[in-house]
Amino acid sequence: MELGIVGLGRMGGNMLKKLVETGHTVVGFDLNAQNIKDCVTVGGKGADSIEDLIDKLKRPRNIWVMLPHGTPTTETIETIADLAAKDDLIIDGGNSHYLDTIKLGDKCLASGVRFADCGVSGGIWGLEVGYNLMVGGTEEDFKRMEPIYKSLAPANGYKYLGKHGAGHFVKMIHNALEYVMLQGIGEAFECLERSEFKLDLKDIASLWNHGSVVRCWLLDLLVDSFTKDKDVLKKTAPFIDDSGTGRWTTEFAVQNSIPVPAMTTSLYERFASRIDERISAKIIAVLRNEFGGHPLKKE
């Protein structure tokens, strides 16, 4: 099958490579010239621009956009839609907000261009083990793209979920669940590290992954990390970024009166990790001193 991919970063570039390896013809474009060279090196066809990519694809075209959410994705899809012909299909594979996806999909469909959204999970490991794909759009377009989905995903690793927006909505919730799982693992291992026992965190991560009810791939990755560098924690700053999906899930939950304390707390913990000096803690300490005479600890 023939596919164009716009955005050849860590995810898009590996997806192109995986598709080429499974027999598909892929044309790639990226603003970074080196990424285009890498695309050609692994067997893809490079394009000099979005216009060039469109010209190199046979109609009806299938164009996968794999870019950061927000302006980069929106402007790119709008550009493609303006250049595309009737029944060309645009797939947004990034982490777009599902409400933005619905609006963008409506604009594409109004102009005669087909649209699908695909939430992609798997990270840098997707090339090796496959990507989990959460697909929104029409069933017709899902079936049209199924050879691509099948090549990218492991067995049972892709699913049609409903009208456009559904794929990105499910990916948003998936990422919020990921926040919770990461937070839980982090807190558990902090308790282990701060105990009176001289515990080997790598050994415990490995132990728990053999028959326990908390066994998971994340613990495998933790073991791998400790194996590569036993001092990795000493070298890592306590700063955790967020992609936006956790915030969107919290907003959705608030708007719909859904209690999600674990998801909300895990998001706030990420915010807290980026603050070197907690003014709130100082205010509380000062007030405790004022009303109760509790001693202040000087810096």
Tokens 């998801």 locate to 263
For 142, phi and psi rounded to 5 degrees?
Answer: -60, -45
End-to-end CA distance of the chain: 64
For 56, phi and psi rounded to 5 degrees?
Answer: -85, -5
Cα separation values, 233 from 135, 189, 190, 238, 266, Å: 37, 11, 11, 9, 20
- Judge whether 171 counts as a catalytic residue: yes
Alpha-carbon span 187 to 174, nearest angstrom: 20
Amino acid identity for residue 157 in this structure: G
Bridge-based pairing of strands 62-65 and 45-46 is unpaired
Catalytic residue among 2, 178, 202, 269: 178
* Cβ count within 10 A of residue 229: 11
Catalytic residue among 17, 18, 45, 171: 171
For 3, phi and psi rounded to 5 degrees?
Answer: -145, 145
Active-site residue set? 171, 178
